[in-house]
Structure 1
Amino acid sequence: MSDDGYRNHDWSFRTITNRNSHDILVGQCNRYNIPTVLHVYNSSVPRCQSFLTVFEEFAKRHDPVDETSIQYAKMDYTPETSFMFKFAPNQLPITVAMFGGKWARTVTGPEIGEIESMVTEMVKEYQAAGGVLPDG
């Protein structure tokens, strides 16, 4: 493991607020093969706001335990972030699971069961590709 950003990675639940924070998240996912789940919502849409709590609880249940775990992030669809995402505000929430720039899946809508299935699939694909996640 190198010291060029990976060792100093912030493993907390991250909030994407601008292009820089988005690029750091995606860059770490791609460069260091880190399994990543990004939830994009629109806080001005009630169903998005209420589902955000459900997603945050899901992420807490799957909270990273060390440097080999999944990183979770959320991004509010605002004027500062909307240009980074191709979906319209009424199509949100969108949840994307990805790792290593080689695998990605998307769930559209407030479907925690589908998100959980997507994350399970991501973990299986990650492990099949040689990645190791801790048990738990």
Structure 2
Amino acid sequence: MPIHNPTTALPPANKRRLPDDIDAGLPENGDAVALLRRRITAARVLREHIVWEAVRVLPALSDFRAAHDAFARFRQMMERDDFADAILLLAASAVPSRELLELTQAGGIWSCRLTTTVAPRSRRRRIHTAHHPDRAACLLAALVASGSNDA
């Protein structure tokens, strides 16, 4: 019995192809932050490349690589697979900076709340919440949520 191998169209040379279950339903020019959020949600455990993607696509981190000391510390943390502390460093280095309000675990699910000061010297703060089974993924999801709400 012959084996049927359907041909699949190759992605354009300048575009990466992601697994179908992650990018299904998104337009070809899908929003990078929305795609990142979906990838974090789909991940059982946070992987290093997803954290690096956040550094690349989040507008609040656009100048992070220029901060040489913070970026060097971030790279060291990533090399040791210390994703949670690396993400907290990203949050503190974001513009405007984010601060961890709460990180708790209940029933195998982590809950994280980050805060962003809306304006300098303002008492108004935005609170960003995320939930995920993986601690580091929960922190990154809250950071990504805070980035999508920046004005």
Higher relative contact order (CA 8 A, sep 6+): 1
Q: TM-score, normalised by structure 2?
A: 0.29
Q: TM-score, normalised by structure 1?
A: 0.31
Structure with greater helix percent: 2
